[in-house]
Structure 1
Amino acid sequence: MNSDTMKIGILGIGGIGGFVGAPLVKKYKDSTTKIIFICRGETKNVIQNKGLVFESKGTKETISPDLVSDNPTEIGILDVLILTSKSYSIKDVLSTYKDCIGPETIIITLQNVVNAKEIIQENLPQAANIMEGCIYVASNVKQPGHIQHVGGPGKIFVGGHENKQLIELLASGGLDITYAENINQILWTKYLFVAPVAGITSAYKITFGQLLKDQNLMYILGNMMMEIQSLASKNNITLTMQDIETSKDLLTKFPFESKSSLQLDFENNNQTEKRFLVDYVIENANKYGIETPFYNDVNEKIKTSCNVY
């Protein structure tokens, strides 16, 4: 990290990238900390010409970062790269922007997975400074260049090699971010909520509120969480029944009409993270001899209702 200037790239200006990027741009505009939005296509064109529209808690504002680009040469070597793109695109984006990642570049992951570091190291072995993380928020793309924060506290946890200077800089920039030594425990605890909820809401095409009101589906959800609990134990992570109850209670913290990002991607005929949120559980549980009848049933329902195989 350069003591005089700081180049922070946010890769993927969707719901999460916009939520993270907006406060940083507001705080560090016209300073030695440069915020770069890395995006392409219509999103890039809209933000370059009109700025990013960000809605949260009844307010709407337009912000313009220091640079909006999909050109690695124009972006240059980054001090920090915050990966907010979907899990399925990590391999491709690392290949595209490998020249923006130097020996000192810190990569922060905010995907809904428990193996982001492994994915990065498989595709970019030279990446030495990886801070795995997660974020608790519901933030969606209303249209390219227009992000709406619909719920969730926006709390970010990151692990890896502790960097107090960076955490303080991001916190001063308006992010609710905390360093956690036990990041794997936190990643699995979030996965305990995200993966089953994504699966069941996609399979049955229901909102969070509708799920909460259906006792039968809540029973299925609880059993899906217990299947993840069994898988976590094989990875030396202990998830308790209280963790499961806390995860189910999280549904009450979101608006009734909230939908999982997996469900929204199915609805919009986009590429989805099913491989990371559904298939990953079934395949890895199978390796350990763990039975997953509830996940299997939801998977079959997704295949039928969403026409995927």
Structure 2
Amino acid sequence: MRVLVVGAGAIGGYFGGRLLQAGRDITFLVRPRRAAELASTGLVIKSPNGDVTLPNPPVVQADTLKEKFDVVLLSCKAFDLDDAIKSFAPAVGPNTSIIPLLNGMLHLNALDEKFAYERVLGGLCAIAATLNEAREVVQLQPMQSLTFGERDGKMTDRVRAITEIFAGGKFGSVASENILQEMWEKWVFLASLAASTSLMRSSVGNILAAPGGRDFLLGILDECSAIAKAGGYAPRAPFLERATGMLTTEGSQLTASMFRDIKAGAKVEADHVIGDLIVRGDAAKIPVPKLRTAYTHLKAYEKERG
């Protein structure tokens, strides 16, 4: 089974690298700069789960991509989705499965429109990783998982086949029969964390230590959960218990990658992660004052950034 990993940054580089390390048939679709880096130093992963250097990983660039692949693993940011779709479109054949690892749900509409519903699975990952100054993939914490599945909940032959391929990566891959529920729950937590830490420009622990901090964090979680419920995916009790625990741990240094992007002056997924929730909340007539404040803050940041 041939797998095309779109990008070799922190997410694509880590999961694709682990699969390549396991001997799977992996090709990275990259831009010229990244192709030159990989040719020079290889794909380097620094991780609590084991370091590895993979010399000369197979790469292809958009202007030379012609072959079809069995699986496309899509790990770009939402603001790069349109360009990514154009770049990997030639690799999609009648039997190709696309597994997007983007946050939120809005990307499914774009992928369905371009490639058709039946080619697009649901997917999500849990990992804290970044590219350092040496352009190495650095995993910040041992936590790692990649979950995927048919959006209608069926356990199909293609899901079983992909499961066998991904198992070799030893990164906690899971074939889910309830992938949309899991995607919604990740979105609820991510949006709560991103909205809070980005707006307050600080960690969960520091927000909790501030007057009204706990109420704000839990209020954001309540708003996001209400939107998910209105969409037919009410967060389950075990998830809410975990999410509440993570958002109320005193002294926690937890922040969202969106906040770290703001600190670095980088682009953020304001519309995809926060804005789309507000749109859905408005449609369901759910008041979301805290989300609105966070969204205004993010859009002001985007305006200032230019």
For residue 5 of structure 2, what is the aligned residue in structure 1?
10
Segments of 5+ residues of structure 1 without an aligned counterpart are 1-5
Residue matched to 1:177? 173
Is residue 19 of structure 1 aligned with residue 25 of structure 2? no
Matched, 1:188 2:179: no
Q: 1:204 aligns with which of 175, 195, 200?
A: 200
Describe the superposition over 1:201-228 as per-residue Cα deviations: whole angstroms up to 9, x where unpaired.
Answer: 1122213443455463332121111111
Alpha carbons 1:157, 1:178 under 8 Å: kept: yes
1:274 aligns with 2:270: yes
Aligned to 1:216: 212
- Other-structure match for 2:131: 141
User: Could you tell me whether the CA contact under 8 Å between 1:134 and 1:158 is conserved in 2?
Assistant: yes
Work out which of the residue numbers 91, 97, 106 in structure 2 matches 1:100.
Answer: 91
Call closer, same or farther: CA 1:41–1:112 in 2, change over 3 Å.
same
The one-letter amino acid paired with 2:9 is G
Name the CA shift for 1:244/1:213 in 2 (closer, same or farther; >3 Å): farther
Distance 2:176 2:66 in 1: 30
Residue 3 of structure 1: aligned partner: none
Matched length? 298
Q: Does the C-alpha gap of structure 1 residues 96 and 74 become closer, same or farther in structure 2, counting only changes over 3 Å?
A: closer
- Whether 1:237 aligns to 2:233 is yes
Deviates more, 1:106-115 or 1:262-271: 262-271
Q: Does the CA-based 8 Å contact 1:8-1:34 persist in structure 2?
A: yes
Q: CA deviation at 1:98?
A: 0.9
Identity of aligned residues (%): 21
- Partner in structure 1 of residue 144 of structure 2: 154
- The correspondence of residues 256-267 of structure 1 with structure 2, limited to 5 A, is 257-267=253-263
Structure 1 CA distance, aligned partners of 2:142 and 2:248? 10
**2:76 corresponds to 1:85:** yes
The question of whether the paired residues in 2 share the 8 Å contact of 1:188 and 1:237 is answered with yes
CA shift for structure 1 position 174: 2.1
Partner Cα distance (1:241, 1:81) in 2 = 33
The answer on whether the counterparts of 1:39 and 1:68 sit within 8 Å (CA) in structure 2 is: yes
**Which residue identity does 2:21 align to in structure 1?**
K
Q: Which moved more, 1:176-185 or 1:243-252?
A: 243-252
Distance in 1 of aligned mates of 2:211 and 2:56: 46
Q: TM-score, normalised by structure 1?
A: 0.86
Q: Higher mean Cα deviation, 224-233 or 112-121? A: 112-121
Per mean C-alpha deviation after superposition, the further-off stretch among 169-178 and 236-245 is 236-245
1:259 CA drift (Å): 3.7
Q: Secondary structure at the match of 1:143?
A: coil
| Whole-Å separation in 2 of the counterparts to 1:73 and 1:16 | 23
Note the alpha carbon deviations across 1:122-147, whole angstroms, 9 max, x for none.
Answer: 2x144632221111111111136311
Amino acid at match of 2:294: V
In the alignment, structure 1 residue 113 sits paired with structure 2 residue 108: no
CA–CA separation in structure 1 for the residues paired with 2:214 and 2:301: 19
How much has 1:60 moved relative to structure 2?
3.3
Match for 2:36: what amino acid? N
Aligned pairs for 1:22-41 (under 5 A) are 22-28=17-23, 33-41=24-32
Is contact 2:146–2:172 with CA below 8 Å preserved after alignment? yes
How far, CA to CA, are the matches of 1:273 and 1:144 in structure 2? 25
Deviation at 1:95, TM superposition (A): 1.5
Amino acid at match of 1:245: E
Q: Relative to structure 1, is the Cα distance of residues 252 and 7 closer, same or farther in structure 2, using a 3 angstrom cutoff?
A: farther
Q: Distance in 2 between matches of 1:229 and 1:303?
A: 23
Give the 5 Å matches for 1:60-75.
Answer: 60-64=51-55, 66-74=57-65
* TM-score, with length taken from structure 2: 0.87
Structure-1 separation of matches of 2:240 and 2:216: 12
**Contact 1:7-1:78 within 8 A present in 2 as well:** yes
> Partner of 1:167 in structure 2?
163
Opposite residue 230 of structure 1, the aligned amino acid is: A
